[in-house]
Structure 1
Amino acid sequence: MQFKFSLSSWQLIAWTTGLGLSLPLCFLIFESLQSDPEVFAHLWDTVLWDYINNTVLLIIGVAFLSCLIALPLGWLVAYCDFPAKKQFEWALMLPLAMPTYLIAYVYTDLFDYAGPVQIALRDYFGWQSPEDYWFFDIRTLGGATVMIALVLYPYLFLIFKTALKEQSHKLVHAAQIMGHSPTKSFFTVSLPLARGAIAAAIALISMEAMADFATVSYFAVSTLTTAVYDTWFGYYSLTAAAKISGIMLLILFVAIVVERYSRRNQAVYERQTQLSNEPLYMLSGTKAWAATAFASFILLIAFVIPVAVLLEYAVDYFDKAWNNEFFVYAWHSLKISAVVSLVTILLSIVVVYSQRLAPSKLSLWPGRLGSTGYALPGTVLAIAVLLPLTTVEDYLNQWLESSSWQPGLFLSGTLFAIIFAYVVRFYAIAHGSIESSFSRISPNLDMASQSMGRSPRQTLTSVHIPILRRGILTAALLVFIECMKELPAALLLRPFNFETLATHVFQYVSDEQLELASVAAVFIVVVGLIPLYFINRSMEHKH
């Protein structure tokens, strides 16, 4: 019996992309299973359990605090009418533009013993020394939890708010008819119906919290993320670092499995086709101003105060911060971000278009494989990328050992490592946006183009690309901004004497001299506001 197997060039490129982008994860899993009796055993017997404990506590704390902040805010904005509601609907997402290490530095500077808050307290009460009073220490696991939650809560706020607006108001009206108070309706109707959306947002927040390196490193809180960094730079053991990375992936996998198992029998069928702006509760008097005060307080501490402090630094230290280093590092960041955005967009278009040409369950796998890198924290991603790159370099250098030319670290020691790592990590963002945009294009357009004798490539360039322009721009912006802010992978993979804006700012943060890089810090925040503007515009169009 003879089997025929044909594979088009589109599918070949798609599978090559999917397998190539999933290669670092495969190498990481393989390397984590190798024996390393000395380094990893030493870590296991001494500090590793403390790292695991701190990581789990950080994830739980950030998720819990994000819920305390985002769920009430999402419910107020989606269902209630109160002063400045429309402004808060977009303003409460602004903290996403703030890197966690910047907000951590700002509040450390404000609340430290030599900071303005404690100085004012000592002057007012006449205290002379630290023994005269108690003041909380922000540089702790609890402080890191608060800092990270203030930056990440907008994920849950945006997703929960959208889920509530998509729910049928009939269910809430029914709860009102039954005499349920707004609070009881929130817990018995709104939360259960939005459980899937909440779980997805918490999973995203948990991944981001576990991936955070800068804040926990600055606060000297030992987590698995810092353990990977310290193991690589302290022991130079890729195997031990891979094993720690494997533990992080296992924690993520268990959390996702438990969450999905817990709602395996849950199904929600009633949805509105469009987002609703009609308020269900008209707040007035004390309740209305309490809602405004709560939203204002969160926005103030999560965005306004940090940005105001950074702007003050930038003005006061402008002559020192506005220098050639800023322009050089800004060019490095812009160049890498632009290249990664272009590569991820092109690869995503090819992979998604191959699915459209030959739709099947099998055709979905290249995209799924290529998107696995998004779950990898930056430090883990760096180790995962180094493994295949150094393997290729070792084999090639051994093969050319007898020749006069030795390529050396031509992959892991160059910009290729950073670009490849960023493509692996952020491909999922581009793929999701492009796939969503493609799904809104009618198949009739494809058939009409084919009937006119156009090839798949001509159909893509002349029919689909013009329609996809908005989705492509959105995807490119999201990838671009994520690349601008990415820190741990850049710290581990950058070539010698190469800095990006993120690494440049973090170096000054680590040295307690953020003022000297304040212009670069403000630039990162301002650039981070761009995708939030487009997201808000997109939400307004849906309304």
Structure 2
Amino acid sequence: MAEVEYAEHGSRRHKTTSTRILGVLAYAIAAACLLPMLAVVLAAVTGGTETIAHLMETVLPSYALTTLALVVIVAIGTFCLGVGAAWLVTMTRFPGARILEVTLVLPLAIPAYVLAYAYTFILDHPGVVQTTLRQVTGWGPRDYWFPEIRSLGGAAVMLILVLYPYVYLLARAAFLQQSASAFLAARALGENPWGAFWRVSLPMARPAIAGGVLLAIMETIADFGTVSYFGVPTFATGIYTSWFSMADRAAAAQLALCLLGFALMLAMLERTQRGKARYYQSGKKQSGLPPIELTGLKAAGAFVLCAIPVVLGFALPSVILFDMGMNSEQNIVSSRYLGFVRNSILLAGTAALITVGAAICVGFFQRQHPGRASATAAYLARLGYAVPGGVIAVGLIVPFANFDNMLDSWMREHFGISTGLLVTGSIWLLVAAYMVRFLAAALSAYEGGQSTVHSNMDHAARSLGQTPLGTLRKVHLPLLTPSLLTALLIVFVDVMKELPATLIMRPFNFDTLAVQAYRLASDERLEGAAVPSLVIVAVGLLPVILICRQVGRR
């Protein structure tokens, strides 16, 4: 009996120890996600009022107005494209609708800055479009007007073309889940199809659509590559300019604080909309709306409207990039380019493994210990998705640079040894920035799979003597392999495409494909920039193919 009691006591002690370890890891991850935001606030507050006063007199109004204008244009554009395409492919039938329903997701594979390089190559003054126009008409450079691609409007168009799938996917799902009853009732009361859509279907899908638009807006304020290349002054470019060109950390921190406040406000709006979405779902499954058959000009018009975003957002830029790459002098199999590929894969692979591991810790801890503390940890872990990469970079570099400087001074004073920068400028700090930025995506994928594991499995494992970590290792992880692989893939691709944090935080002489593409494009070597851009697009197609498979299954 004593041996049994001792064994049970040892088992309980082991369970308590593993639970404590899991809790410590979850809270440490949440604290790591909160650190950049607290550091930005502290650096901005202690930077003095002179810097912010100077910014308010010079560039701050321009940054604010330009960022706001860009957000408004992108919000309207993604709403119109995403909702219009989703309605046509789900609620109507026309030749090619099933193919377009899947291919409308493809622009997600192309980063906005890559799209900017492709269209600048053909639409700029020396590009093939304007050159052909001058040859055909005999006009000189000042004899005609042509839209300027390097402008606020051009940047907005690039962002709309790659971000509308966020709205499309959520709107499509909302339309598919709607019952036919309300729509048919509106038609019976005399509404035409457009009126029934505007008065019934659209309001019912409003929370999902608003969530998609807010996601597109958050990606817009976080964008650096597109606005920087087009010379559009936004908060994102202001942070980079203040940090590198002006070497003014206080100005960079204060601009980052402005952007952080805007991003967190949008995050709260997105969570509010997501919370409201559940109230629009019917508790009783009803028949879906029978699709409207389109013929003749209406069918042709629907096909063209749905095909334009796919052609402009994926097909045409892919052809342009391939042609540019074939005419460039860049050799993708050279040792230099293989180094870029190796660095990109090393960063993306390491960040994906660490981020998914962090998501498992936070998600499993919340499942094992539901309550306010675990929910707070999960909420803090998700905040990073709303924080632009440039803000996270500033928020991590400032405290760790101070730590490195203090450690170096102490070592010099006591031991006569210079430690230099141990953390700042290291790969691990950059990986930490990636984890903070993309942990929400990994956590969402993990929790989506975890929801399919019934709690009875946990009770059965516990009754058989398994500790919480044993339950995770032997029960949850084998069942969640598809969800974990999806999370790994999403984070891997996001890190491959990420630009602002990589530019600011990368170690010296440690360049990635995204950095190489940005550098070549900044030097106006667009044909060379096409080569690393094509590799990024090819990698980005992997998660998009998974999404397309889900869309194809309806």
Specify the SS of the correspondent of 1:8.
Answer: helix
The residue number in structure 1 matching 2:473 is 461
Distance in 1 between residues matched to 2:471 and 2:278, nearest whole Å: 39
Q: Is the 8 A contact 2:360 2:446 kept in 1?
A: yes
Q: Deviations over 1:190-243 (max 9, x none)?
A: 111111111111111111111111111111111111100011112222222111
Instruction: Write out per-residue CA displacement over residues 427-457 of structure 1, whole angstroms, 9 at most, x where no aligned residue.
Output: 1111111112111110011111111122222
Q: Which residue is equivalent to 1:301?
A: 312
For residue 358 of structure 2, the aligned residue among 342, 347, 368 is: 347
Name the CA shift for 1:272/1:180 in 2 (closer, same or farther; >3 Å). farther
1:94 shift after superposition = 0.8
Which letter maps to 2:279? V
Structure 1 stretch 221-230 or stretch 104-113: which is displaced more?
A: 104-113
Q: Give runs of aligned pairs for residues 328-347 of structure 1, distance below 5 A.
A: 328-347=339-358
Normalised by the length of structure 1, the TM-score is 0.94
Quick one: structure 1 residues 217 and 274, their matched pair in 2 at CA, closer, same or farther if it must change by over 3 Å? farther
Superposition RMSD on alpha carbons, in Å?
A: 2.3
- The alignment-based identity, stated in percent, is 36
Do the aligned residues in 2 keep the contact of 1:98 with 1:151 (CA within 8 Å)?
yes
Task: State the match for 1:535 in structure 2.
Answer: 547
Instruction: Answer yes or no: is the 8 Å Cα contact 1:340–1:479 preserved in 2.
Output: yes
The corresponding residue for 2:106 is: 94
Of residues 244, 248, 253 in structure 2, which corresponds to 1:233?
A: 244
Structure 2 match to 1:177 = 188
> Runs (4+) of structure 1 moved beyond 6 Å?
258-267, 272-278
**How much does 1:514 deviate?**
2.5
Q: Are residue 114 (structure 1) and residue 126 (structure 2) matched?
A: yes
Any idea what SS the aligned residue of 2:200 has?
A: helix
3-state SS in 1 of match to 2:412: coil
Q: Does the 8 A contact of 1:166 with 1:275 survive in 2? A: no
Q: What is residue 217 of structure 1 aligned with on the other side?
A: 228
Mark the CA change 1:333 to 1:255 in structure 2 (over 3 Å): closer, same or farther: closer
Aligned counterpart in structure 1 of residue 201 of structure 2, from 187, 190, 211: 190
Residues 321 and 516, structure 1, Cα contact 8 Å, conserved in 2? no
- 1:166/1:274 contact within 8 Å kept: no
Letter paired with 2:25: I
Cross-structure match for 1:149: 160
Offset from partner CA, 1:520-539 (integer Å, 9 cap, x none): 21111011010011122234
Equivalenced residues, count: 537
Q: Deviations over 1:1-33 (max 9, x none)?
A: xxxx99722212211111122111111122222
Contact 1:193 1:268 in 2 (8 A): no
Task: Give the structure 1 partner of residue 404 of structure 2.
Answer: 393
Contact 2:208–2:273 (8 Å) recurs in 1: no
Greater alpha carbon shift after TM alignment, 531-540 vs 163-172: 531-540
Contact 1:39-1:235 at 8 Å conserved across structures = no
In 1, the alpha carbon distance for the partners of 2:491 and 2:265 equals 28
Most deviating of 355-364 and 334-343: 355-364
Q: Which residue of 1 aligns with 2:490?
A: 478
Task: Verify: 1:21 aligned to 2:5, yes or no.
Answer: no
Spell out the pairing of 1:20-39 with structure 2 (5 A cutoff). 20-39=32-51
Distance 1:274 1:232, change over 3 A: farther
Change beyond 3 A, Cα 1:106–1:517: closer
Gaps of 5+ in 1: none
Distance (Å, rounded) in 1 between the aligned partners of 2:32 and 2:269: 29
> Following TM superposition, by how much is the alpha carbon of 1:517 offset from its aligned partner in structure 2, in angstroms?
3.7
Other-structure match for 2:70: 58
The alpha-carbon distance between structure 1 residues 372 and 255, as it changes in their structure 2 partners (threshold 3 A), is: closer
Residues 1:317 and 1:40: Cα distance change in structure 2 (over 3 Å) = same
The CA distance in 1 between the partners of 2:262 and 2:468, in whole Å, is: 43
Quote the offset at 1:283 in angstroms: 1.2
Relative to structure 1, the CA distance from residue 379 to residue 537 in structure 2 (aligned partners, 3 Å threshold; closer, same or farther) is same
Structure 2: gaps of 5 or more residues: 1-15
Letter in 1 for 2:480: L
The CA deviation string for residues 41-97 of structure 1, in whole angstroms up to 9 with x for no partner, is 222211211111100000111111111211110111121111111111121111111
State how far apart, in whole Å, the 2-side matches of 1:430 and 1:277 are: 32
Query: Larger deviation: 168-177 or 520-529?
Result: 168-177
Cα distance in 1 between the residues matched to 2:26 and 2:41: 23
Q: Does 1:134 align with 2:117?
A: no
SS at match of 2:219: helix
Paired with 2:468 and 2:278, the residues of 1 have a C-alpha distance of: 39
Deviates more, 1:363-372 or 1:213-222: 363-372
User: Measured at CA, do residues 137 and 269 of structure 1 come closer, stay the same or move farther in structure 2, by a change above 3 Å?
Assistant: closer
* Cα deviation, residue 256, structure 1: 5.3
* Worse-superposed segment, 70-79 or 24-33: 24-33
What corresponds to 2:302 in structure 1? Answer: 291
The whole-number CA distance in structure 1 between the counterparts of 2:399 and 2:267 is: 27
**What is the SS of the residue equivalent to 1:132?**
coil
Change (3 A) 1:66 1:365: same
How far apart are the structure 1 equivalents of 2:331 and 2:270? 50
Q: Is the 2:332–2:338 Cα contact (8 Å) retained in structure 1?
A: no
Conserved? CA contact 1:320–1:516, under 8 Å? no
* Cα separation, 2, equivalents of 1:272 and 1:507: 54
Q: Counterpart of 1:415 in structure 2: which amino acid?
A: I
Secondary structure of 1:271's aligned partner: coil
Residue 268 (str. 1) matches residue 279 (str. 2): yes
| 115-124 vs 298-307, which moves further | 115-124
Counterpart for residue 9 of structure 1: 21
1:316 paired residue among 314, 321, 327: 327
User: Contact 1:81–1:281 at 8 Å: present in 2 too?
Assistant: yes
1:166 is aligned to 2:171? no
Alignment equivalent of 1:358, drawn from 369, 375, 391? 369
Task: Give the equivalent residue in structure 2 for 1:410.
Answer: 422
Deviates more, 1:31-40 or 1:401-410: 31-40
| C-alpha contact (below 8 Å) 1:27/1:384 kept by paired residues | yes
- Cα deviation, 1:376-432, whole Å, max 9, x if unaligned, reads 112111101112211321332233232133221111121122111111101111111
Tell me the TM-score normalized by structure 2.
Answer: 0.92
Could you say what secondary structure the match of 1:460 adopts? helix
2:460 paired with 1:448: yes
What one-letter code is carried by the residue in structure 1 that aligns with 2:230? F
Q: Show the counterpart of 1:73.
A: 85
Letter in 1 for 2:111: P
Preserved CA contact (<8 Å) 2:78 2:160:
yes
- Secondary structure of 1:58's counterpart equals helix
Paired residue secondary structure (1:512): coil
How far apart, in 2, do the equivalents of 1:276 and 1:510 lie? 54
- One-letter identity of the residue aligned with 1:58: L
- Provide the rounded CA distance (Å) in 1 between the counterparts of 2:77 and 2:367: 41
Tell me if the contact between 2:242 and 2:252 (Cα under 8 Å) persists in the aligned partners. yes
Partner of 1:208: 219
Aligned-partner Cα distance in 1 for 2:470–2:26:
18
